[in-house]
Amino acid sequence: MEFDLASQPEFVQQAVGYAQQAWDISKTWLLSPAAWSQFGLLLAAFLLAWFVNRQVQPVLSRLLTPAEDQTGILATIRRFIGGFLPLLLPLLAFVFTAIGEQIVRSIFESGAVIAFGKRVFLFLAVRAFARDMVRDPFLKLIARFFFVPVAGLYALGLLDLVIEKLRTTIVPLGNMSFDLLWMVQFIIIGGLIFWMGRWSNDQSSGYINAQDEMRPAQRQLAVKAAEIAIFGIAFLVLMNIMEINLASLAVLGGAVGVGLGFGLQKIAANFISGVILLLEGQATVGDYVELDDGQSGTIVKTTARAMFLETYDGKWIVVPNEDFITTRVTNYSDQGSSNRYEAPFSVSYDTDINEVPALVEAAVAKHPGVLDEPFPPDCELRGFGESGVDFAVEFWVNGIDDGPNKYTSDVLFLIWNALKAEGIEIPYPQRVVELKGMDKVPGT
């Protein structure tokens, strides 16, 4: 049964044609003395590169590896250069092969085999770069699935063919159309540009957050402004590189505007509310707030849409930014401001109550968290109860009385110990029960 190639699909015919070309080239190389000499030269170049690499790499590694405790600019440069050592072997083989190629071409006027060997060594260098040098997960993904395949196609001599195929494959999209090569370039270039944007944003955020002279709200606003500016510039750079006319996005911008006016109005309101909160500094990360519905927690994260509160039991509450503008919110901390608390207690009616305020104030003032400013501890008489005389001591602390800081509990312990040390009785409820008509009971 004969195989009719003409009746097969076009891609099968092309694949068979490429295979036939490869077979013809292989036969030429296997039967050509010039090809055998080039194979020998490739082997010699690789062995020489391996020998030189084995002798030189340990020396370079010692020179380029500073002590772990060294953090200066020179040590940083040495570590950076030392990171390229995995490329030494394939690059040496590439250089030695390039030198041998000039010799072979001068003798045989042919160097196809050795040129192929050069491309293979370059592919090995790219593969070593992607495998051993790239540490960032996103960059490693691009290196593994873009740069390494491109280097492989270049080594096989198929890169120009694949590029032309991608360029001629048009993808229609409504009134627009683009080729696959443009799409691949857009994905790769866009990914790299926005990775640079993310890295720049991380650096700027770290620098801004390290400015202790700025208020927390100002730091948050500066971080958000820098983030918007960086990614806005990244978007414009990408549009310019890909030669996309921004005027063509006018329709999309109009659609987004309509969406903001209807379905996205809540998102827009929350975004604007978040900007207002950052500008006014009403609430920021670290503040302990209580919402109008009674829920409370510490602000641990702010976004363009909402704030995240963490309660004492570890739960997170997502509160839209608009709620901080349109409802009543109590801010207890405002990033470390002083707060006043009071601890109520009672003493027996047998006590000389004139001695109690000074005794309690002195005891409470010993607590390391209790402040003298804006006011020292103040013990006040609050009333005469059923079982004893009611007092309350007011005290100021720098923070809030939450799970980690048990200010009120500690103060009550101090009051108890101080009163017990002076023999002052803390009353408990007592009741006198009078039974009437007991004389009418028989047998009494």
Domain boundaries along the sequence of the chain: 32-157, 178-261, 265-331, 338-421
pLDDT of residue 314: 77
Average pLDDT over residues 107-133: 77
Which of the residue ranges 41-45, 50-54, 344-348 would you say has the lowest mean pLDDT? Answer: 41-45
Separation of first and last alpha carbons in the chain: 129
* Span 265-331 CATH architecture: Roll (2.30)
pLDDT of residue 39: 73
Determine the average pLDDT of the residues in 78-86: 78
Mean pLDDT along residues 107-126: 75
Q: Are 201 and 259 in contact (CB under 8 A)?
A: no
pLDDT band at 345 (very low <50, low <70, confident <90, very high): very high
Q: What is the pLDDT of residue 22?
A: 60
Residue 11 has pLDDT above 50, yes or no: yes
| Rounded Cα gap, residues 26 and 20, in angstroms | 10
b/e string for 327-362 if b means 16 or more Cβ within 10 A? Answer: eebebbbbbeeebeebbebbbeeebeeeebbebbbe
Q: Which two tokens stand for residue 368?
A: 């390391």
Q: How far is CA 199 from the centre of its chain?
A: 10
Q: Are 289 and 332 in contact (CB under 8 A)?
A: yes
Residue 34 confidence (pLDDT) above 70: no
* 83-122 b/e (C-beta count within 10 Å ≥ 16 → b): eebbbbbbbbbbbbbeebbeebeeebeebebbbbbbbbbb
Q: Does 307 have pLDDT greater than 80? A: yes
Instruction: Output the average pLDDT for the chain.
Output: 78
Identify the pLDDT of residue 417: 92
Residue 379 to residue 342: CA distance in whole angstroms: 9
Question: What pLDDT is attached to residue 1?
Answer: 42
Share of the chain above pLDDT 70, in %: 77
Tell whether pTM > 0.75.
Answer: no
pLDDT at residue 437 in the model = 65
Residue range 6-34: mean pLDDT, rounded: 57
Q: What is the mean pLDDT of residues 36-53?
A: 79
Predicted confidence (pLDDT) per residue in 270-282, tens digit: 777 777 777 776 7
Which tokens sit at 342?
A: 């009071």
H or E element at residue 164 = helix 159-168
Task: For residues 63 and 78, give the distance between their C-alpha atoms in angstroms, rounded to a whole number.
Answer: 8
| Percent of the residues in the chain that have a pLDDT greater than 90, as a whole number | 8
Q: So what's the pLDDT on residue 391? A: 92
- Residues sharing a CB contact under 8 Å with residue 60, sequence separation 6 or more, in sequence order: 82, 85, 88
The mean pLDDT value for 79-93 works out to: 80
Q: Nearest Cα to 49, choosing from 111, 104, 125?
A: 125
Confidence of residue 120 (pLDDT cuts 50, 70, 90): confident
Residue type, 173: L
59-68, 74-83, 331-340, 356-365: segment of lowest average pLDDT = 331-340
Q: What is the signed CA dihedral for 152, 156, 161, 167, rounded to 10 degrees?
A: 10
Q: How far apart are CA 56 and CA 91, in angstroms?
A: 13
Contact indicator for 332, 339 with CB cutoff of 8 Å: yes
Retrieve residue 182's tokens: 């443009």
Architecture field, domain 338-421: 2-Layer Sandwich (3.30)
The answer on pLDDT for 59 being more than 50 is yes
What is the pLDDT, as a whole number, of residue 394? Answer: 92
> Would you say residue 284 has pLDDT above 80?
no
pLDDT class of 89 with cuts at 50, 70, 90? confident
Average pLDDT over residues 25-50: 69
Please report which confidence band the pLDDT of residue 393 belongs to, taking 50, 70 and 90 as the band edges.
very high
116 has a pLDDT exceeding 80: no
Mean pLDDT of the 171-193 span: 79
| Exposure string for 385-404, b = 16+ CB within 10 A, e = fewer | eeebbbbbbbbbbebbbbee
How far apart are the C-alpha atoms of 227 and 201, rounded to whole Å?
6
Residue 175 has pLDDT above 70, yes or no: no
8 pLDDT above the threshold of 60: no
